[in-house]
Structure 1
Amino acid sequence: MTQQPRSTTSTRASAKDAAAHPPLAEPRPPAERRVWPRTFHDRLTAPLPGLKALARFAREGAVRPGPAGLADVPRLPYAPGPLPRVDARTVAVTWAGHASWVVRIGGLTVLTDPVWSRRILGTPPRVTRVGVAWSALPRVDAVVISHNHYDHLDAPTLRRLPRDTPVLVPAGLGRWFHRRRFTRVTELDWWEATEVGGVRFDFVPAHHWSKRTLTDTCRTLWGGWVLTDADARRVYFAGDTGYGHWFGRIGRRYPGIDLALLPIGAYDPRWWLSDVHCDPEEAVRAAQDVGARHMAPMHWGTFVLSAEPVLEPLTRVRAAWQQAGLPRERLWDLPVGASRVLE
């Protein structure tokens, strides 16, 4: 029988589908040793502050809230509880504080940007305690790091881990872990992936930057992670990021994101921080851009990093969610230490 040619309409539809959902990269081998560029400055989506911006910040920039903005510190939501019981078919998250989550997916326990220290370099002590005792953690099966800033990459916390813990990091950051004798370190570029225990980990872009010392600006990459289990359930951990075009691209490339862990704090003054930190309204737009069914706010209420009142990110994200007409039960505005399980 002669095969009939496909119609032009069908061909166009297939091309449109391919453009909307491009094929994912094949997972790269774990702990692969790779050579990276000396700098990732070309990945910036906005220029870093110049001398004029630095001078303005010195004149008028505020890095901490005033007394009124700090008055609500005792009211910051804190409700630690036991980690939920899970199996290989369960997806659950527990907010330890800031950008640190205990993600249970595909039978694995994954830590994101783990910071269990009381304070980090250049910042006052945390205003809420860690929501999960280190002793309460099950065996950690993997750690994902978004970038190398001190509030996301904490050496004292990481020293608590066995050195054979799989660690997934941005391009260029592997050397930091190898110097500390971690043996299973996988570095990825944007849109690359690897697998751990049947769970796929994709490293995705973010609107941010990297720096840990006076001489290493943008020497390592930054980004977020999409975790996908065997049942195609997806958790997106955005790391640190401003708002921009990457969210739409992430949503098209990874359709069906069940939960987006998105930053909502450290945004004031806006003229100084808008390129690298979402405000609450932008975080809600980002959740819509990636097509997430649920959103869990993070990066607020733990360390005082900027000038907005400490409770303002929570009140603003709730108002933005309501204004967007989204179902209230899909905003997981958790207290530090609380958990949720995906149905």
Structure 2
Amino acid sequence: MSTAVTAPGGYACSMTRPRALGAVPEDTAAKTHHRKDGKGFANPWASWKGMSGPQIGKAVLWGRLTGKFKVPDTTPPTVRVVEPTFLPSRETPQLRATWLGHACYYVEFPGGLRVLFDPVFEERSGPFSFMGPKRYTPAPCHVKDIPIIDVVVISHSHYDHLSYHTVMEIHRKHPNATFLVGLGLKKWFHGCGIENVEELDWWTDIDVTLSPSTGEKSVSNASTASAPSASAKGSDITARFSCLPCQHISARTPFDMGVTLWCSWSVVSGGKSVWFGGDTGYRAVPEVGKDEDDYGEAYVDLPRCPAFKQIGDLRGPFDLGLIPIGAYDPRYIMSSVHANPFDSVNIFVDTKCKKAMGIHWGTWVLTGEAVLEPPVLLKQAMKKKGLPETGVFDVCDIGESREFQG
């Protein structure tokens, strides 16, 4: 049972309680990603070899001091930024997705659902407005420019994916928007004065119904076990949101690493499905020679995160994947938490996405690769996998919208 609130456009939003409504792996009940002390979460796979914050900081600092790690050149032109165009109403003939920079995507589903993923519109990524990575490409728009936001999906707590100022602006401009987050993050939202938030564990789901309403609150007892689809204008808009695994970590301070859960997400609505990778690694790669291929013969036995194949087998296929392709250099430091394009293509195949767009690049300098390298390597990775270099897993301008047909 859940209390409904009025959504934008005169719709009341009601949700079922979080629980498994779709197929899950056999070992789900063991909750191996929960720490045994009950104080947070961990990556339960051999593909994870995490480094602590101090270890990463020390390695990066030493690399900078010795000249081994270079700061990428952000001199314009880099990634093209265009003013986005959003549909003026809920009428949507096709699945439509607009990249708003880094990991932020705005998705307009057939039938009317409007979902915003990992929104961050600030100039800097970090706890302070005066320090932290600064945008080398401007935000293509502001929260006030987005006409409808029904649901905001957050992958994890890192500052380039969860911004206090953006969240508060969304809450002011779209006070009835619902936030969906991983376990442990509801407390943060409540501390911000936001009550329209629900937290989920991996492999759990929520069915959301938007009903034409005069704005009065109501109560929903919906508990269907079949994936819903959106209906025509004037009728209910229905969707299923699923919290799914990824290989990453969370933290907002030096003292809360792994306290809240990191997630990927799927959304099914209007007969279309989207998988949002958020932020994830795929393998843990050792330090290799500068020109050595870490997918070469010497590294074929490196463990790969099994969660993505499980997602594809149990919840796929997906019409669209939003898959991270950037922030991966140096590999021996970043590979556990950030996929490079060769990893990304394997994730694309594992999750059974029909089409995909690259995210998690083109906005802030977070790592050492050249700012325009990710899309170049993406084409190479697709070719290496025997897949078309364009038209299947692509990138676009910041602010650009793409439509995806059936």
Which interval holds the TM-score relative to the shorter structure?
0.7 to 0.9
Question: Aligned to 1:160, what secondary structure does the other structure show?
Answer: helix
TM-score, normalised to structure 2's length?
0.71
1:207 and 2:247 matched: yes
Tell me which amino acid in the other structure corresponds to 2:342. Answer: E
1 CA distance for matches of 2:140 and 2:69?
A: 23
Residues 271-298 of structure 1 show CA distances to partners (whole Å, capped at 9, x for unaligned) of 1000000001110111011111101001
Q: After TM superposition, give the deviation of residue 193 of structure 1 in Å.
A: 0.6
1:91 and 2:95 matched: yes
2:199 is aligned to 187
Q: 1:151 aligns with which of 150, 156, 160?
A: 160
2:117 is aligned to 112
2:151 is aligned to 142
1:175 and 2:187 matched: yes
Q: Please say if residues 40 and 221 of structure 1, whose CA atoms lie closer than 8 Å, have aligned partners that are also in contact.
A: yes
Question: Aligned to 1:97, what secondary structure does the other structure show?
Answer: coil
Q: After TM superposition, give the deviation of residue 65 of structure 1 in Å.
A: 6.9
Number of equivalenced pairs: 311
Question: Aligned to 2:152, what secondary structure does the other structure show?
Answer: strand
Q: After TM superposition, give the deviation of residue 164 of structure 1 in Å.
A: 3.2
CA 1:182/1:64 → structure 2, altered by over 3 Å: closer, same or farther? farther
Q: After TM superposition, give the deviation of residue 178 of structure 1 in Å.
A: 0.7
Question: Aligned to 1:195, what secondary structure does the other structure show?
Answer: strand
Question: Aligned to 1:286, what secondary structure does the other structure show?
Answer: helix
CA 1:134/1:55 → structure 2, altered by over 3 Å: closer, same or farther? closer
CA 1:318/1:64 → structure 2, altered by over 3 Å: closer, same or farther? farther
CA 1:274/1:164 → structure 2, altered by over 3 Å: closer, same or farther? same
Q: Please say if residues 208 and 241 of structure 1, whose CA atoms lie closer than 8 Å, have aligned partners that are also in contact.
A: yes
Structure 1 stretch displaced more, 49-58 or 307-316: 49-58
1:332 and 2:394 matched: yes
CA 1:143/1:209 → structure 2, altered by over 3 Å: closer, same or farther? same
* Cα root mean square deviation, aligned: 2.6
CA 1:87/1:52 → structure 2, altered by over 3 Å: closer, same or farther? closer
2 CA distance for matches of 1:335 and 1:203?
A: 28
Q: After TM superposition, give the deviation of residue 165 of structure 1 in Å.
A: 1.8
1 CA distance for matches of 2:55 and 2:117?
A: 35
2 CA distance for matches of 1:109 and 1:299?
A: 21
Q: 2:63 aligns with which of 60, 63, 79?
A: 60
Q: Please say if residues 173 and 187 of structure 1, whose CA atoms lie closer than 8 Å, have aligned partners that are also in contact.
A: yes
Q: Please say if residues 248 and 289 of structure 1, whose CA atoms lie closer than 8 Å, have aligned partners that are also in contact.
A: yes
TM-score, normalised to structure 1's length?
0.83
Q: After TM superposition, give the deviation of residue 81 of structure 1 in Å.
A: 3.4
Unaligned residue ranges in structure 1 (runs of 5+):
1-21, 26-35
Tell me which amino acid in the other structure corresponds to 2:194. Answer: F
Residues 16-62 of structure 1 show CA distances to partners (whole Å, capped at 9, x for unaligned) of xxxxxx7369xxxxxxxxxx984233435424315766644442268
Structure 1 stretch displaced more, 55-64 or 261-270: 55-64
Q: After TM superposition, give the deviation of residue 73 of structure 1 in Å.
A: 4.0
CA 1:49/1:104 → structure 2, altered by over 3 Å: closer, same or farther? same
1:309 and 2:370 matched: yes
Tell me which amino acid in the other structure corresponds to 1:225. Answer: W
Question: Aligned to 2:249, what secondary structure does the other structure show?
Answer: coil
1:242 is aligned to 281
1 CA distance for matches of 2:145 and 2:86?
A: 8
Q: 1:161 aligns with which of 170, 174, 177?
A: 170
2:39 is aligned to 39
Question: Aligned to 1:70, what secondary structure does the other structure show?
Answer: coil
2 CA distance for matches of 1:102 and 1:126?
A: 19
1:78 and 2:81 matched: yes
2:218 is aligned to none
1:125 is aligned to 134
